[in-house]
Amino acid sequence: MRKKDDEKEQRIKEAVASLMLEEGWSGTSISKIARKAEVSPATVYTYFDSKEDMLQCIYREYSEHVFEYMMRQVEPEMDGAQVIDTLMRSFYSYMTENEDMFSFIEQFSNCRALSSKCACRKGIAGVACLLEEMKKEHVIRNYSAKSLEAVLFYPVKAIVFDEKLNSSEKSGLLDEVIELVQRALLY
Amino acid sequence: MRKKDDEKEQRIKEAVASLMLEEGWSGTSISKIARKAEVSPATVYTYFDSKEDMLQCIYREYSEHVFEYMMRQVEPEMDGAQVIDTLMRSFYSYMTENEDMFSFIEQFSNCRALSSKCACRKGIAGVACLLEEMKKEHVIRNYSAKSLEAVLFYPVKAIVFDEKLNSSEKSGLLDEVIELVQRALLY
Amino acid sequence: MRKKDDEKEQRIKEAVASLMLEEGWSGTSISKIARKAEVSPATVYTYFDSKEDMLQCIYREYSEHVFEYMMRQVEPEMDGAQVIDTLMRSFYSYMTENEDMFSFIEQFSNCRALSSKCACRKGIAGVACLLEEMKKEHVIRNYSAKSLEAVLFYPVKAIVFDEKLNSSEKSGLLDEVIELVQRALLY
Amino acid sequence: MRKKDDEKEQRIKEAVASLMLEEGWSGTSISKIARKAEVSPATVYTYFDSKEDMLQCIYREYSEHVFEYMMRQVEPEMDGAQVIDTLMRSFYSYMTENEDMFSFIEQFSNCRALSSKCACRKGIAGVACLLEEMKKEHVIRNYSAKSLEAVLFYPVKAIVFDEKLNSSEKSGLLDEVIELVQRALLY
DNA sequence: GATGAATGAGAGTTCATTCAT
DNA sequence: TATGAATGAACTCTCATTCAT
């Protein structure tokens, strides 16, 4: 019985992300979500207190995934260039493969009215920790965690979200920005 | 007959950006916009065909400003480091000083349902041209325009939009990422 | 969950017909209908997909009633004159007693934009069948079904809808047109 | 200068009838009418006091045309059968050739809220007079004017307004009902 | 006389949420 | 727990009409 509940909750979450990608904010009404998740609108309220609560729960869950995913790709024996390459490529592939989740996260976090009530992002800690270690061992230069994050991940977003590019163009651009970031960060 | 009032149209546009910043999508209803712009809801429809048309018009106008602004700061006698510094700092200061415009642009362009119908961004051409020149003269390394854009401007966004930072922290981070990008791009 | 309330749907339909009679098209707004039916405007949309759908449903239901009503009055042992008399009188009395339904049907079917999407009138088949039988048995002359319908029923409408006549005048006129039609149709 | 005005007023009237035919009541808004007539919405109010006034003016004008048209076809030397034939055929051809006017008249007069304020139909007097004459001379039987009107013209409406019939079918049916009415009315 | 701008009121419809089952 | 019915409030947008030019 517990299993079934989780499935329903999951269906709802996926419906939200999918609708947010396809239709934006105006597409994510409770009734549309319920229709897509194949539940009743009332059922949404057995899993979440309100629409806002629902969005925040989804954000909290989804916004952590990418960091776990990236950390899983990094191996201890990698050198600095490899770590940068791995982090950026895994960030890229996670975004590409989970387009709707990422679209949701971006739209949510760009909305100050929502995101300011919901400061989470514990997940970045793992990555931050890894980079800190690399700084100490003089593998990468000594910049603040925020700057590193900005330089490693935000240029990748620029590439992923550009709808005018096809995937092979994106792949080529990814190679370029990885090279650029490696030169910027490594000694 | 009365003449169309440019100032009224401007008030509407500003109201949209301001509400989008403060309240996000759910705050930008026609009636809220009209109230803020001190016009009747019906008046909005003498200036725009529909809400979507309105948002696209605003996007088209606002998304060009920043490029004009940046290009105005660049001087011919600057060297490569100075140009990078100037572009990034002027991008930063434009975003900071026009927070609501930028919030609007980000939220609009993150919504595929809207932005896919409205591909403009002619303004970037000026910047792209300048960078192309610098590539030819071997001032900066030979990367594609898109990669350069990704590396120059997206890390800056990461800093500006982080609400947990105060302005002096942001300023310090900006210095860092400029340094990083200069190392990445210059010979 | 609550069950859908047939009585509520009926109240809505009656409200539409009644308002259409009293105020015409401009009176049949969803909010007026809802007020008259003592439901919320939103409730209308749990019973019908749209206003147009609602009007078509009502038309489909109401436009059949009269034919069933007329056929119930006709007895097998009647001669030709009696059948004509019965059909015309029952048509007349149905229209008179269900003024709002008839007003609705007339206004709906006079609006090509609506009625062209909604061609029903299966109910006439019963009457057509009866008349066909009478033609075969040489009780009435051999004219097409449409001509018979035009001659039997449309003159009656002319009388019913004339607001300048009181009911006793109408009754006298009805006698006249029945006599006229009998002479036209019977051998 | 007077000429130009009349043209504009005429354009407005025609726009109303045309929109009423194509779109029904919901299509006849002042702004749509103005657009179709190629005038400004405000201009409508220089010719008519209000929308209701406009509709009534149009009704008053258009509802007379058909009677004048019919009377023009009748010749003094015609016998009874010919007069009936001529009246019915000219009614039919007027309706067919002026579909939009007739659609307007029907829709207007079916709306009690409007038509009850606007009882005109002086034009029928000519026809009534003619029929009265024929009754006196024992050409047609002695029925009231209203009954004669009902029997002569309403069956024709049934044929004209049936969208399922093509024009040759309609023509055949017209022949039938003329024959029927002649038998009913003539000695 | 003629116009497009402007608007309060109201249109049809959907919203987030609650209720009764 | 899960539901479809129900709804007041709000949505986008158009209405008939007036105003300033």
Contact C177, D148 (CB under 8 A): no
pLDDT at A160 over 70: yes
DSSP conformation letters of D8-66: HHHHHHHHHHHHHHHH-GGG--HHHHHHHHTS-HHHHHHH-SSHHHHHHHHHHHHHHHH
D129-180 per-position pLDDT tens digit? 999 999 999 999 999 999 999 999 999 999 999 888 999 999 999 999 999 9
Tokens 């409770």: give the residue.
A30
Alpha-carbon gap, residue D102 to D93, rounded angstroms: 11
Question: Which residue of A146, A166, A171, A173 is the best one to mutate when testing the B interface, meaning the one whose CB has the most B CBs within 10 A?
Answer: A146
- Kindly give, in sequence order, each residue whose CB lies less than 8 Å from that of residue B69, ignoring residues fewer than 6 positions away: B90, B94
* Nearest beta carbon to residue A177 from set B106, B150, B158: B150
Give residue B40's Cα distance to chain centre.
29
Write out chain C residues lying below 8 Å of D181, CB-based. Answer: 151, 184
What is chain C's pLDDT, residue by residue, as a tens digit (187 residues)? 677 778 899 999 999 999 999 999 999 999 999 999 999 999 999 999 999 999 999 999 999 889 999 999 999 899 999 999 999 999 999 999 999 999 999 999 999 888 888 776 777 888 999 999 999 999 999 999 999 999 999 999 999 998 889 999 999 999 999 999 999 999 8
Write out chain A residues lying below 8 Å of B119, CB-based. Answer: 163-164
Nearest Cα to Cα of residue D62 among D94, D110, D93: D94
Write out chain A residues lying below 8 Å of B113, CB-based. Answer: 22-24, 26-27
In one-letter notation, the amino acid at residue B43 is T
Alpha-carbon gap, residue D42 to D60, rounded angstroms: 23
Write out chain B residues lying below 8 Å of A173, CB-based. Answer: 144, 146-147, 150
Mean pLDDT of D43-50: 96
Mean pLDDT of D48-60: 94
CA distances in angstroms from C11 to A103, C8, D159, listed in the order given: 46, 5, 34
Nearest Cα to Cα of residue C84 among C149, C178, C170, C183: C178
The answer to whether the Cβ–Cβ distance between A111 and B173 falls below 8 Å is no
A31-82 per-position pLDDT tens digit? 999 999 999 999 999 999 999 999 999 999 998 889 999 999 999 899 999 9
Residues of chain B predicted below pLDDT 50: none
B positions 27-66 inside 8 Å of A (CB): 27
C positions 61-120 inside 8 Å of D (CB): 103, 106-107, 110-116, 119
Contact D174, D88 (CB under 8 A): yes
The answer to whether the Cβ–Cβ distance between D155 and C154 falls below 8 Å is yes
Alpha-carbon gap, residue D145 to D131, rounded angstroms: 8
Q: What is the pLDDT of residue B117?
A: 82
Q: What is the pLDDT of residue B163?
A: 86
Q: Residues 42-81 of C near strand F (Cβ < 7 Å)?
A: 42-43, 45-47
Q: What is the pLDDT of residue A3?
A: 44
* Nearest beta carbon to residue C23 from set D113, D172, D183: D113
CB pairs under 8 A between C and D: 125
Burial letters for C122-161: b for 16+ Cβ neighbours within 10 Å, e otherwise? ebbebbeeebeebbeeebbbebebbbbbbbbbbbbbbbbb
Give residue D179's Cα distance to chain centre.
22
pLDDT at A7 over 70: yes
Q: Residues 5-34 of D near strand E (Cβ < 7 Å)?
A: 5, 8
Contact D83, D74 (CB under 8 A): yes
When the pLDDT of each residue in chain A is averaged and rounded to a whole number, the result is 92
How many Cβ atoms from other residues are within 10 Å of residue D65's Cβ?
Answer: 15
Nearest Cα to Cα of residue B164 among A132, A119, A109: A119
- Kindly give, in sequence order, each residue whose CB lies less than 8 Å from that of residue B131, ignoring residues fewer than 6 positions away: B140, B145, B148
Nucleic acid strand F within 7 Å of D172 CB: no
* Nearest beta carbon to residue C143 from set D26, D158, D176: D176
Question: In three state form, how does the secondary structure of C2-50 look?
Answer: CCCCHHHHHHHHHHHHHHHHHHCHHHCCHHHHHHHHCCCHHHHHHHCCC
Q: Do at least 3 CB pairs under 8 Å connect C with D?
A: yes
Among chain A residues, the shortest Cα distance to B29 is held by A26
Q: What is the pLDDT of residue D1?
A: 39
Q: What is the pLDDT of residue C4?
A: 76
A161-170 per-position pLDDT tens digit? 988 899 999 9
Q: What is the pLDDT of residue A120?
A: 67
A94-142 per-position pLDDT tens digit? 999 999 999 999 999 988 888 887 766 677 888 999 999 999 999 999 9
Q: What is the pLDDT of residue D123?
A: 73
